[in-house]
Amino acid sequence: MNWLGAGFDVFGEHILWTDLAGNVLSLAVVWLAMRKTLWTWPVQLTGAALLLAASLHAHVPGNALKQVLFCGLALYGWAMWTRGRREAHGLVVRQATLKERAVLAGALLVGTAVVAQLFIHLEWLKIAWSPWANAYIFVGSAVATFAQSRALVDFWVVWVLVDLVGVPLAFKSGLYVSGAVYGIFFVMVLVGFRNWLRESRGVQGAQGPRERAVTAS
C-alpha cells in the first residue's frame, strides 16, 4: 500500500502525511479535552486511525496495536462522556480516590510487565530494542485514556509520565513528527492538569456544604 508511505522530505528526513495529520489531531484532542467538549473523542478516533497507518508503514507493531486500542477506548470515552452530559450536573471532573489511583498504578506496573514480555517473546510483536519502554508507553497511554474517559484529573499526570519516555522513543523510531508533538504535548498536558485540578477543587468545594446540610438534616 504505497499511500502509507506518502509524505514529504524535510532536511533529508521523510515525513509521513499520516503521521503529520494524526499528530495534528492528537494535539487537537488535548485542547478539546481541556475544554471538556464531546468532540474530543471522534477527533481522537480519527487521529488514532491515521497514526495506525503511520505505524504500520514504520513497522512499529507495538505502536500500531496501541492505536487499535485507542480506537476502542475512544469509542468507550465517547459513550461515557455522552452519558455524563445527560446527567443533571453534566460531566463532573474529579480527582481519583485512593483506591482508583491504586488500580491505575497497578494496571500501569503489571500491564507494562506483561506487554513487555509479549514484545520480547511474540515474533509478530517482537521489538529488538527498548521493549520495556514501548510496553510502558503502550500501557500508560491506555491507562491515561481510560482515566480520561472517567473524567479523572489524574489522567493528565499519567500523560506526563508517558511523555517523558515517549519523546526520545518516537525520535528513535524515526517518527519525527510524533517526537516533536510529544514535546508540545508535555506543555499542554501541564496546562490541562492545572485547569482540571482547579475545576475539581471547585466542584468539591461546592459539594461540601450540600453534603454537610444533608448530614445535618
> What confidence tens digit (pLDDT) does each residue in 184-204 have?
888 889 999 999 999 888 866
Long-range contacts of 25-33 (CB under 8 A, 24+ apart): 25/50, 26/51, 26/181, 26/185, 27/181, 27/184, 27/185, 27/188, 30/185, 30/188, 30/189, 30/192, 31/188, 33/148, 33/192
| Per-residue pLDDT reduced to its tens digit, 14-29 | 677 777 788 789 889 9
pLDDT, residue 32, reads 93
| Per-residue pLDDT reduced to its tens digit, 100-157 | 999 999 999 999 999 999 988 888 777 766 889 888 988 998 999 999 999 999 999 9
Check residues 98 and 36 and name the one with the higher pLDDT.
98
Helix H or strand E encompassing 15: strand 13-16
Residues ≥6 apart with Cβ < 8 Å to 101 = 154
Mark residue 174 as left, alpha or beta (left: phi above 0; alpha: psi -120 to 50; beta: remaining): left
Check residues 181 and 143 and name the one with the higher pLDDT.
143
Side chain identity, residue 149: S
Check residues 10 and 96 and name the one with the higher pLDDT.
96
